[in-house]
């Protein structure tokens, strides 16, 4: 009886959510749209019938929520709502793409195809996630809505991540910060980007997240009072303009505050612009620019601006369509406050990105916007990219967050390039052939080399020669995805020729030595010469950088690749081996107990110690490495190499020593070093590996390397050291 009641209340809740979706969609619906949405809803409900999410909720809640995010937070229309309702149907149920096309038409089917993950087996060297991401981006050529719906899907998954096991939380959160937050940023979805970043922090570093969010809540009343006092004099002046306006005061996102704390190495209280005041004007398009500057003038008449912090994205918008005027001013209480001046149109584009940008395009200039130009460039990169998916994702990602630099051609045409772009980037941006034959450039009439970094306002003329061709060092000279991938293409062609030559040489040499030419032998030779892969080995032999006669020394050395983990190819193998040896279902790697079953090492990039949140990573040739979840490399490893990640935790019965590094800063005084070393070795009986202290102008900075048992042991030590007279700050470094 209770079960029936529960099912009945669930049905009511599903219908309530469906009706809420229709209400929110009402402003964009045309004739017949409501019927199509109803059809999609019932198709999805039937397809997912009986399915539940990890939280125990009916699965249909997820597509309904994703559709609602699409309409209310991005502003997409009927086609997107239908696609969002059906986005998991082909992947998770018996429905085929042909069924979707028959029921809802070609357009919806194309979007669903882009949203459906690739199925099939991948080579150990490739990453399913990178392949999925590349496939999703390929749909940009057909329909940008695929990515917008994917972002809505990811946002809802992040909002409901609580019910997932810890290892899944880490993987999804790191994938989000690595790929999806930068993508939301580039598509101008700032509200999405901030929420995705905050949710990443919530799951990757919960203590940091809770600490900052607690402090933001604690300071809410005093912050609101401060903002009221700050805007009072500006309001009086704004009223005299006789325009409709709205003023919002809001704290910076938790993730951006955390970033500033790390970058500036300061506590929460010392982050100087913790919040921003936004002035939004409701004015006609033709008056926007003049009125924004007028309001800027009113603000800076009353408050002193920081001249280095003026950002004018109204005259030249960002590549993702973002327009706003930012300045940082000094308040009466001695606090810096960021003031953003924009119009209602600009604010909607900043919050809802691409969809809002299209809504406002009608009747405006027919010129291509920065966002359309960027999407055009992405299509170009995708169409000619056929290399390794992970390499592609890294290149692509590096261009998502970067700011722009604005430069001019000799005829005065404006070109937008990523920050840090060089003369060579500019050459490839104009045309691939001009890039490949680029000798140098004239910037503002002066001759400069290929790697000359361009600045805003530079006028660039490219010099070419038919004899010039790309070489390996060019990859160090460029930052744009297009230039990188074109240079790699040219090098691949040349490299292919050398690899073929190298293959013939190695085959002949092995034949003479009576050794069979096969992949495992090539891998062993590559390992012997400390070369990354067999392809690299063949290339180096082909170019003569490795003399083929040296292969004989490999045979003499009777060299074999270490077999310690030869039977361990990926996470699955490790988990199976652990379960098999223990004769239990547990596939968790217990650090401190399992060394006899599986060999592992601690990663040097983050030096984990007992008590740290960690995961295992199966490397190609160096066994299993244990990393902290906050390691600088964690996002990339967890995003791109899911099949090599192992769940790991510390065994409670450990008694080991781990190396940790502390940074210590303070004011110098006589006997300070002696006090510090006494606490370490006498009071806490900690073994110190090294202590180096530099003193300048009465300030000292030191690095201490020592051995501790676990994180609580380290915390006790840090607290003791902070109490030493003169010590200002003690922090753990990787």
Assess whether pLDDT exceeds 60 at residue 364. Answer: no
Q: HSE-up of 18 (CA within 13 Å, CB side)?
A: 19
Domain span(s) for CATH 3.10.20.30 in the chain: 370-479
The more confidently predicted of residues 694 and 596 is 694
Q: What SS3 string covers 403-463?
A: CEEEEECCCCCEEEEECCCEHHHHHHHHCHHHHHCEEEEEECCEEECCCCECCCCCEEEEE
Phi, psi of 649 (to 5 degrees): -150, 165
What per-residue confidence (pLDDT) applies to 160?
A: 92
Q: Work out the average pLDDT over 187-213.
A: 90
CATH 3.10.20.30 fits 370-479, yes or no: yes
Query: How far is 436 from 416, CA to CA, in rounded Å?
Result: 20
Q: Work out the average pLDDT over 149-169.
A: 90
Query: 3-class DSSP state for residue 101?
Result: helix
What per-residue confidence (pLDDT) applies to 378?
A: 65
CB 205 within 8 A of CB 630: yes
- What lies within 8 Å, CB to CB, of 714 at 6+ separation is 609, 611, 660, 708, 732
Report residue 628 CA to chain centroid gap: 18
Q: With bands split at pLDDT 50, 70 and 90, how would you rate the model's confidence at 152?
A: very high
- Listed range (113-117, 294-298, 498-502, 559-563) with the worst mean pLDDT: 559-563
Query: How far is 174 from 397, CA to CA, in rounded Å?
Result: 14
What per-residue confidence (pLDDT) applies to 602?
A: 85
Assess whether pLDDT exceeds 60 at residue 384. Answer: no
pLDDT digits (tens, 9 = 90+) for 385-417: 555 666 666 666 666 656 678 888 888 877 888
The more confidently predicted of residues 423 and 551 is 423
Superfamily of domain 658-733: ACT domain (3.30.70.260)
The more confidently predicted of residues 92 and 257 is 257
Active-site choice (10, 13, 57, 92): 92
- Listed range (220-229, 285-294, 352-361) with the worst mean pLDDT: 352-361
Query: How far is 610 from 398, CA to CA, in rounded Å?
Result: 33
Assess whether pLDDT exceeds 60 at residue 362. Answer: no
- What lies within 8 Å, CB to CB, of 273 at 6+ separation is 252, 328, 336, 337, 338
Q: With bands split at pLDDT 50, 70 and 90, how would you rate the model's confidence at 69?
A: very high
Report residue 280 CA to chain centroid gap: 30
Write down the CATH number for the domain with range 211-359: 3.30.460.10
- Listed range (36-50, 181-195, 634-648) with the worst mean pLDDT: 634-648
Distances, alpha carbon 563 to alpha carbons 69, 204, 559, 573, 618, in Å: 51, 34, 12, 15, 14
Query: How far is 186 from 188, CA to CA, in rounded Å?
Result: 5
What per-residue confidence (pLDDT) applies to 727?
A: 85
Q: Work out the average pLDDT over 374-382.
A: 64
Q: With bands split at pLDDT 50, 70 and 90, how would you rate the model's confidence at 565?
A: very low
Query: How far is 517 from 496, CA to CA, in rounded Å?
Result: 19
pLDDT digits (tens, 9 = 90+) for 259-306: 888 887 788 877 766 778 999 999 998 999 999 999 999 999 999 998
Active-site choice (8, 91, 500, 622): 91
What per-residue confidence (pLDDT) applies to 92?
A: 81
Q: Work out the average pLDDT over 131-146.
A: 66
Six-digit token string for 50 = 């009986």
The more confidently predicted of residues 131 and 600 is 600
Rg of the chain, C-alpha, whole Å: 29
Assess whether pLDDT exceeds 80 at residue 372. Answer: no
Assess whether pLDDT exceeds 80 at residue 253. Answer: yes
Architecture of domain 2-208: Orthogonal Bundle (1.10)
What per-residue confidence (pLDDT) applies to 281?
A: 94
What per-residue confidence (pLDDT) applies to 119?
A: 43
Q: Work out the average pLDDT over 61-74.
A: 91
pLDDT digits (tens, 9 = 90+) for 110-137: 888 877 754 443 344 445 666 666 666 6
- Listed range (286-290, 450-454, 521-525, 604-608) with the worst mean pLDDT: 521-525
Q: HSE-up of 539 (CA within 13 Å, CB side)?
A: 12
CB 692 within 8 A of CB 733: no
Six-digit token string for 506 = 């190695």
What per-residue confidence (pLDDT) applies to 342?
A: 94
Q: Work out the average pLDDT over 42-57.
A: 86
* 92 has catalytic annotation: yes
Six-digit token string for 227 = 């903002």
pLDDT digits (tens, 9 = 90+) for 643-654: 778 888 887 655
Q: Work out the average pLDDT over 699-723.
A: 84
Highest mean pLDDT: which range of 107-116, 319-328, 446-455, 534-543 = 446-455
* 91 has catalytic annotation: yes
User: What value does the mean pLDDT of the chain take?
Assistant: 80
Q: Work out the average pLDDT over 131-153.
A: 73
Domain span(s) for CATH 1.10.3210.10 in the chain: 2-208
What 8-state DSSP symbol labels residue 51?
Answer: -
pLDDT digits (tens, 9 = 90+) for 616-675: 888 776 778 889 888 888 888 888 777 778 888 887 655 567 788 888 888 888 887 788
Query: How far is 467 from 456, CA to CA, in rounded Å?
Result: 31
Q: Work out the average pLDDT over 317-344.
A: 87
Query: How far is 525 from 558, CA to CA, in rounded Å?
Result: 11
Number of other residues whose CB lies within 10 A of the CB of residue 470? 22
What per-residue confidence (pLDDT) applies to 373?
A: 66
Among 494, 490, 487, which residue's Cα sits nearest to residue 428? 487
What per-residue confidence (pLDDT) applies to 567?
A: 42
Query: How far is 275 from 278, CA to CA, in rounded Å?
Result: 10
Domain span(s) for CATH 3.30.460.10 in the chain: 211-359
Q: With bands split at pLDDT 50, 70 and 90, how would you rate the model's confidence at 140?
A: low
Query: How far is 545 from 305, CA to CA, in rounded Å?
Result: 58
What per-residue confidence (pLDDT) applies to 336?
A: 83
Domain span(s) for CATH 3.30.70.260 in the chain: 658-733
The rounded percent of the chain whose pLDDT value lies above 70 is: 82
Assess whether pLDDT exceeds 70 at residue 571. Answer: no
Question: What's the farthest any 2 CA atoms get from each other in the chain?
Answer: 93
């Amino acid at each position: 009886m209770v079960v029936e009641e529960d099912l009945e209340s669930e049905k009511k809740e599903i219908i309530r959510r469906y009706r809420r979706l229709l209400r929110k969609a009402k402003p964009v619906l045309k004739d017949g749209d409501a019927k199509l949405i109803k059809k999609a809803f019932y198709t999805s409900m039937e397809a997912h019938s009986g399915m539940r999410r990890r939280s125990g909720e009916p699965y249909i809640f997820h597509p309904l929520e994703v559709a609602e995010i699409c309409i209310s937070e991005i502003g997409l229309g009927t086609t997107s709502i239908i696609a969002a309702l059906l986005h998991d149907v082909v992947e998770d149920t018996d429905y085929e793409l042909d069924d979707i096309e028959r029921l809802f038409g070609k357009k919806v089917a194309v979007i669903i195809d882009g949203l459906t993950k690739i199925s099939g087996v991948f080579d150990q060297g490739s990453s399913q996630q990178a392949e999925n991401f590349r496939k999703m981006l390929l749909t940009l050529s057909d329909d940008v809505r695929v990515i917008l719906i994917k972002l809505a899907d990811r946002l809802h998954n992040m909002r409901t991540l609580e019910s997932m096991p810890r290892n899944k939380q880490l993987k999804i959160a790191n994938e989000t910060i690595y790929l999806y937050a930068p993508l939301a940023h580039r598509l101008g979805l700032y509200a999405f980007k901030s929420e995705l970043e905050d949710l990443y922090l919530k799951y990757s570093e919960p203590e940091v997240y809770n600490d900052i969010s607690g402090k933001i809540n604690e300071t809410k009343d005093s912050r609101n009072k401060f903002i009221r006092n700050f805007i009072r004099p500006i309001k009086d002046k704004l009223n005299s303009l006789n325009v409709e306006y709205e003023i919002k005061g809001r704290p910076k996102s938790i993730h951006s505050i955390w970033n500033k704390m790390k970058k500036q190495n300061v506590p929460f209280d010392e982050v100087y612009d913790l919040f921003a005041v936004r002035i939004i004007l409701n004015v006609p398009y033709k008056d926007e620019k003049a009125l924004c500057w007028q309001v800027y003038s009113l603000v800076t008449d009353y408050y002193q601006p920081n001249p280095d912090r003026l950002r004018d994205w109204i005259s030249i918008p960002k590549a993702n369509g973002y327009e706003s005027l930012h300045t940082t001013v000094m308040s009466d209480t001695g606090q810096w406050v960021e003031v953003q001046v924009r119009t209602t149109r600009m604010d909607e584009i900043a919050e809802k990105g691409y969809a809002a940008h299209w809504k406002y395009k009608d009747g405006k200039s027919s010129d291509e916007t920065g966002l359309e130009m960027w999407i055009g460039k992405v299509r170009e990169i995708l169409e000619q990219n056929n290399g390794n998916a992970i390499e592609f994702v890294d290149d692509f990602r590096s261009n998502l967050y970067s700011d722009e630099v604005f430069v001019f051609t000799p005829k005065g045409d404006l070109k937008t390039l990523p920050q840090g772009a060089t003369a060579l980037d500019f050459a490839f941006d104009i045309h691939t052939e001009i890039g490949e034959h680029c000798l140098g450039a004239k910037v503002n009439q002066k001759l400069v080399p290929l790697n000359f970094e361009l600045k805003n306002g530079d006028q660039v003329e490219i010099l070419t020669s038919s004899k010039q061709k790309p070489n390996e060092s060019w990859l160090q000279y460029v930052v744009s995805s297009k230039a990188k991938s074109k240079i790699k293409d040219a090098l691949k062609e040349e490299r292919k020729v050398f690899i073929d030559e190298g293959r013939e040489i190695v085959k002949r040499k092995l034949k003479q030595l009576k050794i069979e030419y096969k992949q495992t032998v090539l891998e062993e030779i590559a390992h012997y010469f400390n070369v990354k892969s067999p392809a690299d080995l063949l290339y180096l032999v082909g170019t003569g950088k490795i003399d083929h006669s040296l292969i004989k020394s490999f045979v003499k050395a009777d060299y074999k690749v270490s077999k310690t983990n030869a039977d361990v190819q990926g996470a699955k193998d490790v988990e199976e081996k652990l379960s098999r040896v223990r004769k239990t279902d547990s596939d968790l790697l217990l650090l401190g107990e399992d060394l006899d079953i599986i060999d592992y090492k601690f990663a040097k990039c983050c030096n984990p110690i007992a008590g740290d949140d960690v995961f295992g990573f199966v490397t190609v040739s160096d066994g299993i490495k244990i990393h902290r979840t906050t390691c600088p490399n964690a996002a990339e490893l967890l995003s791109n190499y899911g099949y090599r990640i192992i769940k790991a935790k510390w065994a409670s019965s450990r008694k080991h020593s781990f190396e940790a590094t502390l940074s210590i800063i303070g004011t110098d005084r006589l006997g300070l070093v002696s006090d510090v070393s006494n606490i370490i070795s006498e009071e806490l009986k900690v073994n110190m590996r090294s202590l180096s202290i530099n003193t300048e102008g009465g300030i000292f900075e030191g690095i201490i390397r020592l051995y501790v048992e676990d994180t609580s042991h380290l915390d006790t030590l840090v607290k003791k050291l902070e109490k030493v007279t003169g010590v200002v700050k003690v922090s753990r470094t990787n």
